[in-house]
């Protein structure tokens, strides 16, 4: 055949060939590439790895080393869990694909009628979520509101210091017990005074995080074999009954000049049921996160006496020996701020964010993430990555002095409060109250370990129970410092 007729043949057949290959590929698309992970067995998936136990963060980090920074796990018959463990992949989940990744994966126990419909924390990004979130951001936790609540927080911390002063003569104090709920956004301190209320709030959080059969096999939902839904329902009722009286009283007075959280939501037209749910959402995430931050900060400072001395020196130099710490001092205490930041790096309380859910399938790097996957951002691994942090396992507040890295959600290597749509709405308040509480404790007391325990013997193991807590709670003996003004 001549060369020119060969060319004609090719040109003639080419469009048909292209059409044919298009049709074949359309009919049989290339298989989707899902993120790698350990072998998932039919029906049980990766349940045998016991990833749902309290050492979950360490197990996940081990698996990430093996399977990579985008990893997929399967539990039971529900959609998979996808774990991302680098700043780049976290930025995709929390920024680039934030709209798709901002749903919530809701535990079975939480879906209590009369509570669940009004929740903000467990809601997808619905209109209701937007309205409540806006109230959180612009009213309850706005700079103006946080500022207006200063005197309440100061009074509460003073109360705590007085309480601790009475225990300073050799009595052993368990730090997380005295601090739980201490520095959360307060409603006249009543939640603390009510016997058993702290315990109920803590139990509710533990139940939401506990492995529950229907979360892996929804078919067992109606049976509620572990009774988690039933217990949650009872607790929610108890809390509702407690708040109902307070809300009724405030509605009756028609005096909303206090302009606190309750006034804000009453004036926004919230029903009693909505208000009860919101109370829980404020006291729930706020209490444990703050108390465990202070407990870890104290533990790190006791283990690193040179850092403790540096902090005491900063406080003594700026505040002196004749007055108490005030919230207005905080801006002048950079080392204190660095201590809190470093604590949140090593011990981020909400280690994997609250569980996000994908509302659509999407591409993450080269992988397909199915719709309804649970997305975990592995802050634990990111905050301890030696490629990102020098000497990452050591407590070195100095790394945050003169550093632009902050926790407002723009630095994906450091995300203690999250980022994007679901970022913690209480950052400003939590940041202030954590610093203020730590400053007051360090300024007022010398802390030592009981029974002659050496700082190097302090048990620093952590466990994941919704927040990253200490396995062995910190217990201390207090002695007033001469610098104390109380």
Find out whether 292 is annotated in a ligand binding site. Answer: no
**Least spacing, CB of residue 424 vs ligand HEM, in Å:** 3
User: How many CA atoms does the CB half-sphere of 75 hold within 13 Å?
Assistant: 17
Using an 8 Å Cβ cutoff, are 190 and 246 in contact? Answer: yes
DSSP at 75: B
Give the range of 302-310, 389-397, 427-435, 445-453 binding ligand HEM by CB under 6 A. 427-435
Size of the site for ligand HEM (CB under 6 A): 27
**Least spacing, CB of residue 403 vs ligand HEM, in Å:** 18
- Residue 181 touching ligand HEM (CB under 6 A): no
Give the range of 72-80, 147-155, 343-351, 357-365 binding ligand HEM by CB under 6 A. 343-351
Given 75, 115, 180, 185, the residue binding ligand HEM (CB under 6 A): 185
Measured from the CB atom, the residue of 122 and 367 that comes closer to ligand HEM is 122
Given 45, 80, 181, 349, the residue binding ligand HEM (CB under 6 A): 349
The two tokens of residue 101 are 């990744």
Give which of 483, 439, 163 is closest to 323, Cα–Cα: 483
Measured from the CB atom, the residue of 10 and 148 that comes closer to ligand HEM is 148
**Strands 81-84 and 70-73, how do they pair?**
antiparallel
Site for ligand HEM in 205-224 (CB under 6 A): none
CB neighbours (10 Å) of residue 101?
27
Using an 8 Å Cβ cutoff, are 261 and 187 in contact? Answer: yes
- Residue 354 touching ligand HEM (CB under 6 A): yes
Using an 8 Å Cβ cutoff, are 462 and 204 in contact? Answer: no
- Residue 192 touching ligand HEM (CB under 6 A): no
Give which of 179, 238, 175, 178 is closest to 204, Cα–Cα: 238
Which residues have a Cβ under 8 Å from the Cβ of 372 and sit 6 or more positions away? 79, 357, 358, 359
Measured from the CB atom, the residue of 319 and 347 that comes closer to ligand HEM is 347
Class of residue 194 by CB neighbours under 10 A (exposed 0-12, middle 13-18, buried 19+): middle
Give the range of 4-12, 397-405, 418-426, 477-485 binding ligand HEM by CB under 6 A. 418-426
- Residue 424 touching ligand HEM (CB under 6 A): yes
- Residue 133 touching ligand HEM (CB under 6 A): yes
- Residue 92 touching ligand HEM (CB under 6 A): no
User: How many CA atoms does the CB half-sphere of 403 hold within 13 Å?
Assistant: 17
What are 356's strand-pairing partners? 104, 375
Using an 8 Å Cβ cutoff, are 322 and 443 in contact? Answer: no
Site string for ligand HEM, 286-325 (x = CB under 6 A): x--xx--x--------------------------------
d(CA 431, CA 409): 14
- Residue 426 touching ligand HEM (CB under 6 A): yes
Using an 8 Å Cβ cutoff, are 303 and 460 in contact? Answer: yes
Give the interface with ligand HEM as residue ranges (CB under 6 A). Answer: 121, 133, 184-185, 281-282, 285-286, 289-290, 293, 344, 349-350, 353-354, 416-418, 422-426, 429-430, 434
**Residue ranges at the known binding site for heme:** 424
């Amino acid at each position: 055949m001549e060369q020119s007729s060969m060319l004609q043949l090719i040109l003639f057949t080419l469009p048909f060939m292209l059409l044919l290959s298009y049709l074949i590929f359309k009919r049989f698309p290339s298989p989707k590439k899902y993120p790698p992970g350990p072998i998932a067995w039919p029906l049980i998936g990766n349940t045998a790895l016991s990833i749902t136990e309290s050492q979950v963060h360490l197990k996940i980090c081990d698996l990430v080393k093996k399977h990579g920074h985008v990893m997929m796990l399967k539990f039971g018959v529900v959609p998979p869990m996808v774990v991302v463990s680098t700043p780049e992949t976290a930025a995709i989940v929390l920024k680039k694909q934030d709209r798709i990744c901002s749903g919530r994966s809701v535990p079975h126990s939480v879906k209590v009628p009369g509570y669940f419909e009004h929740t903000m924390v467990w809601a997808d990004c619905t209109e209701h979520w937007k309205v409540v979130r806006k109230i959180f951001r612009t009213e309850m936790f706005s700079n103006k509101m946080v500022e207006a609540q200063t005197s309440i927080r100061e009074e509460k911390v003073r109360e705590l210091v007085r309480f601790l002063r009475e225990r300073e003569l050799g009595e052993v104090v368990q730090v997380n017990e005295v601090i739980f709920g201490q520095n959360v956004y307060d409603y006249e301190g009543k939640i603390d005074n009510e016997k058993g209320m702290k315990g109920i709030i803590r139990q509710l959080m533990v139940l939401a995080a506990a492995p529950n059969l229907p979360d892996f096999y929804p078919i067992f939902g109606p049976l509620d074999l572990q009774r988690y839904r039933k217990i949650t329902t009872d607790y929610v009722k108890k809390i509702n009954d407690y708040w109902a009286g307070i809300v009724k009283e405030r509605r009756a007075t028609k005096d909303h000049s206090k302009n606190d959280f309750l006034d804000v939501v009453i004036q926004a037209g919230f029903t009693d049921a909505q208000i009860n749910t919101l109370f829980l959402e404020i006291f729930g995430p706020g209490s444990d996160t703050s108390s465990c931050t202070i407990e870890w900060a104290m533990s790190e400072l006791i283990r690193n006496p040179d850092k403790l001395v540096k902090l005491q020196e900063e406080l003594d130099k700026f505040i002196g020996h004749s007055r108490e710490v005030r919230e207005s001092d905080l801006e002048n205490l950079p080392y204190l701020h660095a201590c809190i930041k470093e604590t949140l790096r090593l011990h981020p309380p909400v280690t994997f964010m609250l569980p996000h859910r994908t509302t659509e399938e999407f591409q993450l790097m080269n992988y397909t993430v199915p719709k309804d996957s649970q997305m975990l951002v592995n802050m634990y691994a990111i905050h301890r990555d030696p490629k990102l942090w020098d000497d990452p396992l050591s407590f070195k507040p100095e790394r945050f002095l003169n550093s632009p890295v902050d926790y407002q959600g723009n630095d994906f290597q450091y995300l203690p409060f999250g980022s994007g749509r679901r970022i913690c709405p209480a950052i400003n308040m939590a940041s202030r109250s954590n610093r203020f509480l730590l400053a007051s404790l360090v300024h007022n007391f010398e802390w030592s370990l009981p029974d002659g325990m050496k700082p190097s013997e302090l048990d620093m193991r952590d466990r994941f129970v919704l927040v990253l807590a200490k396995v062995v709670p910190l217990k201390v003996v207090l002695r007033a410092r001469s610098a104390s003004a109380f």
